[in-house]
Amino acid sequence: MSIRDWPETERPREKLLANGAAALSDAELLAVFLRTGVAGLSAVDLARELLSAFGGLRSLLSADVERFCAAKGLGRAKYAQLQAVLELSRRHLAEELRREGVLRDPGSTRRFLQARLRDETRELFGMLLLDNQHQVLAFEVLAIGTINAAAVYPREVVKAALRRNAAAVIFAHNHPSGVAEPSAADRELTERLITALRTVDIRVLDHVIVGEDCVSFAERGMM
């Protein structure tokens, strides 16, 4: 049965317009994106099959172009559309972070860092740069590494902070393994960077590690 033959209150698009996107299941949201199904499958049925095949929404969204395009009902046009949607989401979160302020809304900080770093296959080390009111000036990636390491140099971190005229910073990096627990090397690097930035009167407010979840050094009492 086509979705057009469903009761209006059950159709994903109409349901979204009436109740908001949060009211939809993963399959219903994906069906809105897909717009149409394939022979014998409605858009919702196709969405359910795709979620099952990929093992969930996150795996589908982070699939590379070859795996994505090989799936039933997908292709390069859909891949391009999805990447555009994901980038719009990241930019929206970045704007929200700049507008609301990092200290007034730590949740926005985490959402932005997770959207930016969680699905990277290599380790990235970045820094949120803040002014003296702790409003976000920018986010800069300072190092890109292998699957489990990124070389970070205190001198480059100091130069980046001074270039933006930052008064404070928040460090962030991802663990591609998904395990966000800080390593001994993470703790040692954080101390080195705190010491380097202290010489130019720039405060380090936190170091957030992004995996399946986020771990905050500040919340753990590690700095």
Provide the pLDDT for residue 105. Answer: 62
pLDDT tens sequence across 101-115: 555 667 778 888 988
Provide the pLDDT for residue 3. Answer: 80
Domain borders along the chain are 3-74, 92-220
For residue 52 the two structure tokens come to: 């099952």
Could you list the pLDDT tens digit for every one of the 223 residues in the chain? 578 778 888 889 999 999 999 999 999 999 999 988 888 889 999 999 999 999 998 889 888 999 999 998 999 999 999 999 888 888 887 777 667 655 566 777 888 898 889 888 889 999 999 999 888 898 999 999 876 667 899 999 999 999 999 999 999 999 988 899 999 999 999 999 999 999 999 999 999 999 988 999 999 999 8
**Residues 28 and 10: beta-carbon distance below 8 Å:** no
Provide the pLDDT for residue 211. Answer: 92
The full DSSP string for 17-81 is: HHH-GGGS-HHHHHHHHH-S-BTTB-HHHHHHHHHHHHTSHHHHHT--HHHHHHSTT--HHHHHH
Provide the pLDDT for residue 67. Answer: 94
**Cα–Cα distance, 63 to 67 (Å, whole number):** 6
**Residues 166 and 130: beta-carbon distance below 8 Å:** yes
Provide the pLDDT for residue 100. Answer: 63
Name the pTM for this structure: 0.68
* Signed CA dihedral, 27, 28, 29, 35: sign only: positive
For residue 99 the two structure tokens come to: 């507008």
**Residues 13 and 4: beta-carbon distance below 8 Å:** no
Provide the pLDDT for residue 8. Answer: 80
Which residue's structure tokens are 């954080």? 190
The CATH classification number of 92-220 equals 3.40.140.10
For residue 43 the two structure tokens come to: 């858009």
Provide the pLDDT for residue 98. Answer: 67
**Residues 47 and 34: beta-carbon distance below 8 Å:** yes
